[in-house]
Amino acid sequence: MPHSPITLGISFKMYFGYAQTLTWCRNVAASLTQHPAVLDGRVSLFVLPSFPAIAPVLDIFADSPVGVGGQNLYQSAYGAYTGEVSGAMLAEMGCSHVEIGHAERLRLFGEDATTVAAKVQVALEHQLTPVLCIGETEHGTPAAAIADCRAQIDNALSRATPTQRQQPIVIAYEPHWAIGASEPASLEHIASVCQGLREHMDSHPAASIIYGGSAGPGLLTRLAGQADGLFLGRFAHDPAAYESVINEASMLATPR
């Protein structure tokens, strides 16, 4: 039985310019009337643009259930942190989500387990749904990936209070070796790891476990409910491809 709702997130990373971001979002917003499963909440969408585009993207999706969020936040509430953006500001603007711990943040910007845990706590304090990215760096067995990812989840939630642990969270399972690749991890790998993470999150009913890493049209159908959704990147840059993934999610979603 597929998880409800089926969650489809997309991060534009730094691929899109400002106008391109708004055009993509306007196209998607205009198509929502064709997606009743989105409008009635059986398929949940969130979009993570670059920071300068967040305000107009919030306006574009203002009368829709589509969540909007940042690709990062800083772990302190305010102060002398030039170039950073606080969770408080994202929440004040109306963001619903914030991405934390993406492989590129770890590899290129020196983020580590300590910063990830601090950022998750700050996000939860501000009622932002963390899109917590986890994944193994090397391509190994599902069992090894499960052990690694469970430890990453435990670390990420280590500063959250028991109440905060019951808040919604999106766990984006993204094997680092499948990000920016030509194709996603195998169905067997994704299914085994997501199942292992689902068991680990048994006491967190508000957690969704979605898969990312070269995900695109066709994958959700092939997974047949073995992940709670997808975290999309390059292969949803074409709005038509994104539409087709929404259609797949709608077909899989629990009937009304």
237 near ligand G3H, rule: CB under 6 A: no
Instruction: Choose, by CB under 6 A, the member of 173, 211, 235, 242 that binds ligand G3H.
Output: 235
Nearer to ligand G3H, 159 or 212 (CB): 212
Show the binding pattern over residues 148-177: x = contacts ligand G3H (CB under 6 A), - = does not: --------------------------x---
Smallest separation (angstroms) from ligand G3H to the CB of 36: 27
Kindly tell me which residue out of 5, 6, 7, 11 binds ligand G3H, with binding defined by CB under 6 A. Answer: 11
Is 200 tagged catalytic? no
Per-residue tokens: 68: 């909007």
Helices (H), 83-128: 87-93, 103-109, 113-125
Sign, CA torsion 69/207/183/217: negative
Shortest separation between residue 180's beta carbon and ligand G3H, angstroms: 5
Stretch 33-62 residues interacting with ligand G3H (CB under 6 A): none
Contacting ligand G3H (CB under 6 A), which of 7, 44, 208, 214?
A: 214
- From the list 102, 176, 189, 204, the catalytic residue is 102
Residue type, 119: K
Site of interaction with ligand G3H (CB under 6 A): 11, 174, 179-180, 212-215, 231, 233-235
